[in-house]
Amino acid sequence: MLLSIEPDGSVPIYQQIRDRIVEAIAAGEAPVGSGLPATRQLGVDLGINFHTVNKGYDLLRQEGLLRIGRKAGAVVQRDATSGPPRPGWEEDWTGRLRTMLAEATAQGLAAEEIIGHCEEIIAGFVPVTKDGPAVGEAS
């Protein structure tokens, strides 16, 4: 998995780490059970403080995407194959999506164009099934 961040960008680094890992999970690059690097190692590899990495991992843990154990470290806890999201998550996400779509509409993008972008992005996420190769490779 490649993690690319902008250290001098406007988005906080921990948020960027969280976003990149969510994208990797959706793309099937980090299926359920796959481990992520230890916070100190990832801190060294990106040249940032390990507390920042910790903060990013903690966001993912709160969202139920990561499990953080003392021995196993950070492990991906759910992906596309893990069934529907927990109750209440969808409402929360719809609220954020609303803002994103409102931004596009306010900037003058037509509805078809917006839907076209959405379809293109979703097509980029490799569909993973329970017997799929992505899950098999990780175990």
Report the alpha-carbon distance of residue 67 to residue 135 in Å, rounded. 17
Report the nearest approach of other proteins to the CB of residue 83 (Å): 26
Report the alpha-carbon distance of residue 20 to residue 42 in Å, rounded. 13
Q: Which is nearer to other proteins, 33 or 114 (CB)?
A: 33
Q: Does 77 bind other proteins (CB under 8 A)?
A: no
How many other C-beta atoms are found inside a 10 Å radius of the C-beta of residue 106?
A: 8
Report the alpha-carbon distance of residue 131 to residue 100 in Å, rounded. 34
Q: Does 68 bind other proteins (CB under 8 A)?
A: no
What tokens does 41 get?
Answer: 């190692």
- Contact string (CB under 8 A) for other proteins, positions 10-49, x = contact: -------------------------xxxx-xxxxxxxxxx
Report the nearest approach of other proteins to the CB of residue 27 (Å): 13
Q: Which residues contact other proteins (rule: CB under 8 A)?
A: 1-8, 35-38, 40-50
